[in-house]
Amino acid sequence: MSSSFTIRPSRRVTGTMRVPGDKSISHRALMLGAIASGKTRVSGFLPGEDCMATLSAVRAMGIDVEQHDATTITVNGKGLHGLRAASGALDMGNSGTAMRLFMGLLAAQGFDSELTGDESLSRRPMERVAVPLRLMGAEINTTDGKPPVYISGRRKLRGIRYDLPVASAQLKSALLLAGLYADGDTVLAEPAVTRDHTERMLVSLGQPVRRDGQVVSLSATGQLNGTDMSVPGDLSSAAFFVLAGCLATEGELVIDNVGLNPTRTGILRILELMGADLRVEPATDNCAEPVGRLIVRPSVLQGVAIPPELVPLAIDEFPMVFVAAALAHGETLVSGAAELRHKESDRISVMVAGLRSLGIEVDELPDGARIRGGRFSSGTIDSHGDHRVAMSFAVGAARAAGPVQILDTANVATSFPGFVSQASAVGLAIEANAGG
Ligand code: S3P
């Protein structure tokens, strides 16, 4: 797709906004709702392309999903054994979460499945999920380690104790989903705590999950009960506007109803370390996922060495951290972040190339980068079809010396439908150009 953004310099970011629903939680609401017994009513669902791929897949497997409006759905769950074989391959589009979580879920079904994806997803590693699923008794074939993925059903799974070799919530979640069907306990040791939305949602559906430090374990009860869920605004989407508010020189931005799950808030801690003027007001209501309000004012950011322990807690926000670092005073070191090379693009090399084309001095490292703060020149960025790269540069470009063009932006719709109009509404001078 050749759609692009043009951004012109601006100084003021102001207003009160909400961002679309959390992508990770929306995927899980569909998958777990589908295998729960009875209705799961979901408000705040994200109608982005990634979650719509998951929605199409559960429908293709015989689950009735009522869509009352763009963000309100009812999943009519058919219980743990209610899914039926789809008539063809299930297309996961751009979504690593959809593919990896479905690998765990479908390994345990009484039918075979094939999972495919777009060009970007077809380059991403899937053996990290297939290997432990095979230890549980699953039969799965990848294509040289990547999609398409072929799953043979009708296998009896057994629980395993497994040390995750990478900090990955997708891997952990895939194994927990398979564990719902396994004989014996599924016990997973994480090298670092990762987002725990699957665990929280399982508990809200009546399936206990234990956590002891970095070890998560599940003993299948054989039943999930449908429930009502409210999906908070996606902190990963709000983060672009938090950065926009920091980089502005005037105004105050309030972002309401944002998810504040502590396994996701690493970006707020990183920006605070860099000197952001940021207020976090947790709401007091008691739901499965913490939510609250963010209030951001302009600030002067300073370069820092990003503490590696914050990396898994901010894993999707690193394109933004690179931009923040490029516009901060002094040097920033990102390390311990080699996983960034396996996202929708190789986010280390794509961000380094983008920063250089706007005149920033940066050294690429195997697991991060050393970035010397400066000022963006006018220029053109290739986002390589990576939604978060495109949105991060869009926000940073407001502070450039002249117009910036960002290429290959169609995938912004995978996670943030309405990004351009919401960005314009709070003051960014951004224009979307349709591809020809
Ligand atoms: C996600 C986990 C993370 C994250 C992705 C969403 C999830 O991936 O980058 O955007 O919903 O579980 P990894 O598990 O590969 O780190």
Helices 318-326 and 347-357 cross at an angle (nearest 10°) of 30
Which residue owns the Cα nearest ligand 1 atom 16?
168
- Residues serving a catalytic function are 316
Q: Nearest CA to 426 among 233, 246, 274?
A: 246
Same domain membership, residue 412 and residue 268: yes
CA of 195 to the centre of ligand 1 (A): 8
Handedness of CA 409, 415, 420, 426 (dihedral sign): negative
Nearest atom within ligand 1 for CA of residue 168: 14
Same domain membership, residue 372 and residue 279: yes
Same domain membership, residue 357 and residue 247: yes
Percent of the chain whose predicted confidence (pLDDT) is above 70? 99
Nearest atom within ligand 1 for CA of residue 316: 9
For 413, the token pair is 């719709």
Same domain membership, residue 152 and residue 300: no
Question: Where does a domain end: 230, 253, 278?
Answer: 230
The alpha-helical segments, DSSP class H, found in 214-317 are 235-247, 266-273
Same domain membership, residue 263 and residue 188: no
Residue with tokens 């690429």: 364
Q: Is 186 in the pocket of ligand 1 (CB under 6 A)?
A: no
For 288, the token pair is 């499965």
Same domain membership, residue 60 and residue 105: yes
Q: Tell me what the mean pLDDT of segment 197-226 comes to.
A: 98
Same domain membership, residue 312 and residue 243: yes
Which residue owns the Cα nearest ligand 1 atom 5?
97
Containing domain of residue 184, as a range? Answer: 23-230
Same domain membership, residue 92 and residue 70: yes
Residue type, 394: A
Query: How far is 138 from 19, CA to CA, in rounded Å?
Result: 39
Q: Is 24 in the pocket of ligand 1 (CB under 6 A)?
A: yes
* Ordered DSSP codes for 311-374: SGGGGGGHHHHHHHHHTSBSEEEE-S-GGGGGSSS-HHHHHHHHHHHTT-EEEEETTEEEEE--
Nearest atom within ligand 1 for CA of residue 28: 11
Same domain membership, residue 72 and residue 207: yes
Q: What is the pLDDT of residue 435?
A: 72
Q: Per-residue pLDDT tens for 329-357? A: 999 999 999 999 999 999 999 999 999 99
CA of 100 to the centre of ligand 1 (A): 9
Residue to mutate (ligand 1; options 97, 123, 166, 339; most atoms within 8 A of CB): 97
Q: Nearest CA to 292 among 278, 308, 312, 273?
A: 278
Residue to mutate (ligand 1; options 171, 173, 315, 317; most atoms within 8 A of CB): 315
Question: Where does a domain end: 230, 245, 267?
Answer: 230
CA of 423 to the centre of ligand 1 (A): 25
Report in angstroms the alpha-carbon separations of 151 from 90, 108, 160, 325.
Answer: 11, 9, 19, 43
Q: What is the pLDDT of residue 64?
A: 98
User: Rounded to 5 degrees, what are φ and ψ at 224?
Assistant: -120, 145
Q: What is the pLDDT of residue 105?
A: 98
Report pTM: 0.98
**Domains of the chain: total:** 2
Question: Where does a domain end: 170, 202, 230?
Answer: 230
Q: Is 168 in the pocket of ligand 1 (CB under 6 A)?
A: yes
CA of 87 to the centre of ligand 1 (A): 28
Nearest atom within ligand 1 for CA of residue 23: 11
- Read off the CATH number of the domain in which 272 is found: 3.65.10.10
For the chain, give the mean pLDDT: 97
Q: Is 317 in the pocket of ligand 1 (CB under 6 A)?
A: no
Nearest atom within ligand 1 for CA of residue 167: 16
The answer to whether the CB of 128 falls within 8 A of the CB of 164 is no
Residue 436 reports pLDDT greater than 60: no
Same domain membership, residue 274 and residue 304: yes
Same domain membership, residue 183 and residue 104: yes
Residue 397 reports pLDDT greater than 60: yes
CA of 252 to the centre of ligand 1 (A): 31
CA of 28 to the centre of ligand 1 (A): 12
Q: Tell me what the mean pLDDT of segment 300-319 comes to.
A: 98
Q: Per-residue pLDDT tens for 33-64? A: 999 999 999 999 999 999 999 999 999 999 99
Beta strands in 170-306 (DSSP E): 186-189, 209-212, 215-218, 228-230, 253-259, 277-282, 291-297
Q: Per-residue pLDDT tens for 118-154? A: 999 999 999 999 999 999 999 999 999 999 999 999 9
Residue type, 165: P
Same domain membership, residue 11 and residue 33: no
Q: Nearest CA to 89 among 40, 53, 125?
A: 53
